Structure 1
Amino acid sequence: MSENRERILKLQEKMQELNIDMYLVPTADFHQSEYVGDYFKARKWLSGFSGSAGTLLVTDDQAYLWTDGRYFIQAAKELEDTGVTLMKMREPGVPTVDEFLEMNLVKGSCLACDGRVISVSQGKAYKKMMEDKEGRFYCQEDLLDGIWNDRPELSKEPAYLVDIKYVGTSREEKIEMVRRAMKKYEADVHILSSLDDIAWLLNIRGNDIIYNPVVLSYVIVKADEVTFYVQDGVVSDEIKNELEKAGVVLRPYFAIYEEVKTLAKDSKILLDEGVVNYTLFENLPEEVTTVNAMNPTKPAKAMKNAVEMENERIAHIKDARAMCRFIYWLKKTVPEGTVDEYNAAEKSREFREEDKDCLDLSFETICAYGSNAAMCHYAPSKEDCAKVESKGFFLIDSGGQYWQGTTDITRTIAVGPLSEEEKKHFTLVLKGNIRLAMAKFPYGVGGAHLDILARGALWDAGLDFNHGTGHGVGYLLNVHEGPQNINWNSGIRPGGMIPLEEGVLISDEPGLYLEGKYGIRCENLLMCKKAEKNDYAQFMNFEVVTLVPFEREAIIPELLGETELKWLNEYHKHVYEVVEPLLENKEEKEWLKEATAEIK
C-alpha cells in the first residue's frame, strides 16, 4: 500500500470517529493565497499530487482530486497507486466539486473542512447546502492535527521594507486611500487578509511563501488606527518604528481571531468574502453589518504608478540580459551532451543572480524538453529530469524578483532540427502573441474581449490551449496578480471583464501542447498605457517590456501577416539595441545579432 493511501486511511478513521461523511482539503492557507507554504500543503501530503492548484475530497471509502487542464498529465502520473480518482475540471461529464457534493451528500450527512482555509463565500455556500440537506457543516478543526506528525512549522521569515524610490507611494498615502474607500461604503472597519494586499499597503515584504515575497499576517484598518497581526520575531524593531510612524500597531498573528469578537456591535465592516477566511468571519459579533466588496487595495495595486512603471522597465532589461545569456549558453552547450532540464534551470538562476538587485526567482522555473513541455506546469527535479538532446524544442518559463519589479517570461527554444509541424505550430503561437501585443482598444475593454487575438490563429487551425492567455503581475510581489486577466471564459475567470487600466502589467502567453510530443509557449509581459483620446474614446495599447528574441529558426515567415512580420522585426531590432551593450562576451553579442536579424 502506498504511503499516500495509508495517510488517507488514517484521515478516514478520524472522520468515522467524528461522524463526518466528507472532508474537503483545498489548496489554500488562511489567506486564500494561490501558492502556499509547506505547513499548508495538506492536499499534497495526503494525495501525492504536487501541482499548485487542486482540491481533494475524501469520503468514507474514496478520495477524489480536482485540478485544471494545466495539470491533467502530471496529476495522472502522481496519483498512480494512491487510490485517488482524478477529476478533470471543465471536461465533459465531470462535475465540479460543489456539484459532486450536492449529488452525493445525503440527508442528515456531515461535510467538514478547516474553516480557516476556505473563504467566507465558500463557507456560506457549504453551510446552506448542509442546512438544505438537514445535515451538518463542521469547520471547527483541522483533522490533520494528530495525523500529520512531522508537519512543518508555520513560516516566520524576517520581514523587510521597500524604499519609496522603488514603489513611489508611501504607506501613509496608501492607508489614507483605503480609508477614503471605506467612507464610500460607510464602513468604519476594514479586514484585510490577502497577503499581497497587506504587503503592498504597508510597503513591506517577506519570504513566508517561496517566490512570493509576502508576510503571513492580517490587517484591520479603522479611522484612527491600523493593526498589523504578525508572528513574533518577524518584524524588527527598526521596521516596527517605521510602521508606528504611519499609525500601525503590531499584534500577535493569531490574536485577530479573538479580537474580532470584541468589535463594536454597531460596526460596519468592509471585507472581501472571496478572500477572508470563514472562521474569521464566523467570529464576528452577530450584530455587526458586513459589506462584501473587493479590497480597495487590489485595483490600486494592479495599476502601477509612474515610478513603478519605470522601475519595471529596468527590471526587464536586467532580466533580458540574464535570459539572453542563458539561451546562448543552452544552444552552445546542448551539443556537448551535458545538459539536462534541472541543471538548465539552475543555470538560468545563476544568470539572474549575477545582478545584485535580483532577490529571488518569481516562481519555480519550468524547464521542459520535448514531451515534458506538454505538461504545462512541469518542473524538473535533480532526481527526475530529462536530458536535453540536439533536436526539437526546449521550453523555459521563468522569472525574477528584483527591487525594480517582478518578471515572467517564456521562450520555446530550438535545440536542434525541427519538423515542419513544429515550425508551423510555433509560428501560430507566436502569431497570437504578436496580435495581442499590437492591440489597440477603447478604454473599458477587458481581457476577455482581447483573448481572440491570441487564440484566433490557433482556432482557425482547429487548435487551442487549456489555460488563460494572460495574468496580472505584481510589483516585487506575486507573479499572478488580479483582478484583471486575459481569458475569454469570463464565467471561470471573472477578471476578464474588468477594464484594463494604465499601469497594469499583464502577461501575453498563448501556447500549444501535444501530449507525448512537445509543448510551445511564447510569453512577454505587457504594460497597459493610454494612447490617443478623441471623440470616439480614450484608446489604450500595450508596451512590451520583455526584451528577449523569439526563436527565428522556428518561424515560417509566410504564416505571418505583413504587419505582424514588421512588428517582429522592429521588436527584435529594439531588443538588440537595448541588450547588446549589456553583454560582455563577444560570442554572446554575435549570437544576439544573429538571433535578432531581420526576417524577410
Structure 2
Amino acid sequence: MSTYSDRLKALRDQLKNDRLDGFVVPLTDEHMSEYVGEYAQRLAWLTGFQGSAGNAVVLPEAAAIFTDGRYTLQVREQVSADDWQYVPVPQESIAGWLSEHAPEGGRIGYDPWLHTRDWVKEATKALAERGAELVAVTANPIDAIWADHPTPSLAKLTVHSDDAAGRSSADKRQEIADWLATRKADAVVLSALDSIAWAFNIRGADVDHTPVALSYALVHADGTADFYVAAEKMTDAVAQHLGNAVRVHNRADFGEALKGFSGKRVAADPERAVAAIFDGLDAGGAKILSVRDPVVLAKALKNPAEVAGHRAAQTRDGAAIVRFLRWVSETAPGGGVTELDCVEKLKAFREETGLLKDSSFDTISGAGAHGASPHYRVDEKSNAELKRGELYLVDSGGQYEDGTTDITRVLPIGEPTAEMRDRFTRVLKGHIAIDVAQWPEGVTGGQLDSFARRPLWEVGLDYAHGTGHGVGAFLAVHEGPQRIASPNYAGSGQSEPLRAGMICSNEPGYYKAGEYGIRIENLLLIVERTLDDGTKVLGFDTLTWAPIERDLIDPALLTEDELDWLNSYHARVLEIIGPLLAGEDLAWLKQKCAPIARSAS
C-alpha cells in the first residue's frame, strides 16, 4: 500500500471482514514496553507517526490519534489531518472519545496482548453507555494487512556479569521469593522486559536502544523460575549462567502455562502485564494478586556496583559530548552542517570510546523550529541545516555495559537573541532548583516538579512535559517507578516517593513553536544526607558532566547562589572530563568552564 491513506482504507475493509466497527491501535508490545521492536510498530505503519508514545482509534467514518504535549507539533507534521483527528492526552482519553464517537451498538475491537486489564474495564464501561461493546480479537487486523510485517527478533541473549550487576541472579530471585512469602503467594508473573533482564542478569538486542530480549518469566516461591524465550535465542553460555533452577521453555508456550495455577495465588502487575495474562490466569483458576511487579522498585534502587558503573559511563560519555559540542560550535556557523550530520558525528565520538553498545534512544537533533518539538526525530525528509541566528538542541544518550546515559544541551548558531538568553537562563534556574533540592523521606517527584517551573511561571510560561524520569543500569533510558512530574502531564510515577539509590533526569525546558526549543538535562543520583542538627534528608548527586552553554546565559538573572552553583558545576566538569581530553578539545573545555562573573554580559 503506497500511502497511509491506503493503509487506513485497508484497515477499515479488514474490520468489515472481521465484523468490527472499530479498532484501537496502541504503540506498545505484549510487554507494555515504551520502545518496541519493528514487528510491533503498528501505529507508525498505519499513521506515519514516529513518536514513542501514542494511540489511535479507527472507526468507519472517523479516525483519531492520541498524543501528549511532547508531540503536539510532531504529530501534525507526520500524520495527515485529512485522515486523522488530533486528540490531546491526558486532557482526553481513548475511552472518553469512544463514548462520544463509537457507533451505537457497535463492536470495537482490541488486541488483549496490547492493553492492560484496567484499560479494558474503562473502555468497556465507556462503550456500554452507547450500547456498544469492546471485543477481544484473536488476530490483530493490522497484521492481516501489513504485507511485509517484520518478524520478532531472534537475536541471541547475552550474560550481564555479576560484577556489573552487583548481585547474582540467584540472589535476586531469592529476594523475589521472600517477597512472595510475605504475601503468601506461589508465583509472580514477570512480563516487563527490563524486569526480566534485571532479575536474570541477561541482556538482549530485540528492541532498538534498550538491551532486552522478548521473553516472559514466572518466578516461584522456592526461588526457581520458568523462563519463556524463543529457542533460537539461547546460547550455551546463557544456559550455564541461568543454571538448573531456571527452567527454559519456548516463548509460545507462555500463554498456556498461565492456565496451570488452579487454586494457586499468583501475583501480576496491572500496569505492566497485559489483559491477556490476567485472562489466562483467570481461565486456569488462579487466585490473582493484582500488585506491582517486585522487580520495579528493586531495579530502581541502584547498588554500589551499578552506581560506580553509571559514574564511569557518564564520565566517558561526557568526554564524547564535549568533543561533539566543540565540533558543532566551531563548524555549524560556517554553514553546511545538517541535523543528520550531527547525529552521525555524535555517534562517531561515542563509538571512539570503544565501549558503546548502542544509543539509548533515537538522538533528538533539532535545529531552529525543530527544537520546539520535544521528541523530534530527524529523518532524510525533515533533515534541516543548522543556520546562524538559530538554536540547536541535542538530546541523546549511550548504552554502555556499565551504564545508560541521557543528556540534553543547547547551542546558539551564531549570536543568540536577548529573548533566547532570557528563556535559557530561566530554564537553567529551574534546573538548578531541582539539582539543589533537599527533602524529607516520603516526598514524591510530583511535589518537586514545580521547583523547575517557577522561573518560567513568573513570566507566564511553561513546558508541556515532565521534569524528570528514572534511568536504568544498562537497561531502559526511561525507567520507573519514580518520576518528577505533575499529574498534568501524561505518565505514571508522580506519586512515587523518591528514595536513595534512584537515578532521575533533570530536564526542564521551554519551547517556542515555529522558532526554537530549549532543554537542559543532567542525570542525578538520589542520596541520603545529614544536616548539621543530625536530621536525615534526601538530595541529588550530579552524575552528568558537560558544559552548559555560557553564551546563552544572562548572569543578571541568576542569584548569587545560582551563579555559585554554575561556576562550581563547571569547575567539576573540568576536573572530571578534562583528563580525558587533550589539545584543542581541552582548550575549548577550559574556555567554556571558566568562571562567569555577575557583571558579564
Corresponding position of 2:272: 275
Q: CA deviation at 1:537?
A: 4.9
Amino acid at match of 1:463: L
Corresponding position of 2:231: 232
Amino acid at match of 2:228: Y
Alpha-carbon displacement from aligned partner over 1:284-310 (angstroms, at most 9, x marks no partner): 235321011111100010010111111
> What TM-score comes out, normalization by structure 1 length?
0.96
Corresponding position of 1:561: 559
Match of 2:587 among 586, 590, 595: 590
Q: CA deviation at 1:19?
A: 2.5
Counting only pairs closer than 5 Å after superposition, residues 35-184 of structure 1 correspond to structure 2 as 35-80=35-80, 83-90=83-90, 95-105=92-102, 108-130=105-127, 135-139=132-136, 140-184=138-182
- 1-structure distance, mates of 2:174, 2:531: 31
State which drifts further: 529-538 or 503-512: 529-538
Contact 1:115 1:141 in 2 (8 A): no
Corresponding position of 1:548: 546
Contact 1:512 1:520 in 2 (8 A): yes
Corresponding position of 2:376: 378
Structure 2: runs of 5+ lacking an equivalent: none
Counterparts in 2 of 1:128 and 1:89: CA distance versus 1, 3 Å:
closer
Structure 2 residue 243 is the aligned partner of structure 1 residue 244: yes
State which drifts further: 82-91 or 449-458: 82-91
Alpha-carbon displacement from aligned partner over 1:499-557 (angstroms, at most 9, x marks no partner): 11111110000000001110000000010000016878520110111000100011000
- 1-structure distance, mates of 2:399, 2:437: 27
- 1-structure distance, mates of 2:487, 2:322: 34
- Cα RMSD, aligned residues only: 1.7
Task: Count how many residue pairs are aligned between Structure 1 and Structure 2.
Answer: 594
Contact 2:99 2:127 in 1 (8 A): no
- 1-structure distance, mates of 2:206, 2:500: 30
User: What secondary structure sits across from 1:495 in the alignment?
Assistant: coil
Contact 1:168 1:308 in 2 (8 A): yes
Counterparts in 2 of 1:472 and 1:101: CA distance versus 1, 3 Å:
same
Amino acid at match of 1:557: P
Counterparts in 2 of 1:494 and 1:38: CA distance versus 1, 3 Å:
closer
Alpha-carbon displacement from aligned partner over 1:431-450 (angstroms, at most 9, x marks no partner): 11011101111111111111
Contact 2:21 2:103 in 1 (8 A): no
- 2-structure distance, mates of 1:152, 1:537: 56
User: What secondary structure sits across from 1:115 in the alignment?
Assistant: coil
Amino acid at match of 1:594: Q
State which drifts further: 437-446 or 128-137: 128-137
State which drifts further: 475-484 or 164-173: 164-173
Corresponding position of 1:8: 8
Contact 1:31 1:277 in 2 (8 A): yes
Amino acid at match of 1:231: A
Structure 1: runs of 5+ lacking an equivalent: none
User: What secondary structure sits across from 1:117 in the alignment?
Assistant: coil
- 1-structure distance, mates of 2:243, 2:344: 41
Match of 1:426 among 420, 424, 427: 424
Q: CA deviation at 1:103?
A: 2.3
Q: CA deviation at 1:141?
A: 2.2
Q: CA deviation at 1:81?
A: 6.0
Q: CA deviation at 1:391?
A: 2.7
Counterparts in 2 of 1:335 and 1:492: CA distance versus 1, 3 Å:
closer
- 1-structure distance, mates of 2:315, 2:236: 35
Alpha-carbon displacement from aligned partner over 1:30-75 (angstroms, at most 9, x marks no partner): 0000011111111111111111111110001221101011111111
Contact 1:2 1:82 in 2 (8 A): no
Q: CA deviation at 1:489?
A: 1.7
Alpha-carbon displacement from aligned partner over 1:186-225 (angstroms, at most 9, x marks no partner): 1101111000100010111111110011000000111243
- 2-structure distance, mates of 1:505, 1:56: 32
- 1-structure distance, mates of 2:573, 2:532: 32
- 2-structure distance, mates of 1:490, 1:442: 24
- 2-structure distance, mates of 1:337, 1:106: 54
Corresponding position of 2:220: 222
- 2-structure distance, mates of 1:448, 1:96: 21
- 2-structure distance, mates of 1:537, 1:231: 52
Amino acid at match of 1:241: Q
State which drifts further: 298-307 or 278-287: 278-287
- 2-structure distance, mates of 1:431, 1:515: 22
Alpha-carbon displacement from aligned partner over 1:232-265 (angstroms, at most 9, x marks no partner): 21120121121025x11110111011121222x1
- 2-structure distance, mates of 1:317, 1:77: 37
Contact 1:47 1:82 in 2 (8 A): no
Corresponding position of 1:402: 400
Match of 1:523 among 518, 521, 524: 521
Counterparts in 2 of 1:80 and 1:144: CA distance versus 1, 3 Å:
closer
Contact 1:369 1:393 in 2 (8 A): yes
Contact 1:114 1:143 in 2 (8 A): no
Contact 1:512 1:519 in 2 (8 A): yes
- 2-structure distance, mates of 1:594, 1:5: 53
Amino acid at match of 2:193: L
- 2-structure distance, mates of 1:430, 1:389: 24
Amino acid at match of 1:479: V
- 1-structure distance, mates of 2:284, 2:226: 22
Amino acid at match of 1:7: R
Q: CA deviation at 1:384?
A: 3.0
- 1-structure distance, mates of 2:378, 2:268: 39
- 1-structure distance, mates of 2:488, 2:537: 22
Structure 2 residue 214 is the aligned partner of structure 1 residue 187: no
User: What secondary structure sits across from 1:541 in the alignment?
Assistant: strand
Counterparts in 2 of 1:384 and 1:493: CA distance versus 1, 3 Å:
closer
Contact 2:178 2:221 in 1 (8 A): no
Contact 2:95 2:122 in 1 (8 A): no
- 2-structure distance, mates of 1:478, 1:17: 39
> What TM-score comes out, normalization by structure 2 length?
0.96
Contact 2:99 2:130 in 1 (8 A): no
Amino acid at match of 1:527: L
State which drifts further: 341-350 or 76-85: 76-85
Contact 1:54 1:66 in 2 (8 A): yes
- 1-structure distance, mates of 2:191, 2:246: 16
Amino acid at match of 2:7: R
- 1-structure distance, mates of 2:334, 2:301: 46
State which drifts further: 386-395 or 53-62: 386-395
Alpha-carbon displacement from aligned partner over 1:291-348 (angstroms, at most 9, x marks no partner): 1111110001001011111111111100110000001111121133231110111100
Q: CA deviation at 1:383?
A: 4.2
Match of 2:574 among 563, 573, 576: 576
- 2-structure distance, mates of 1:172, 1:17: 50
- 2-structure distance, mates of 1:209, 1:26: 17
Match of 2:361 among 345, 360, 363: 363
- 1-structure distance, mates of 2:507, 2:372: 15
Contact 1:448 1:490 in 2 (8 A): no
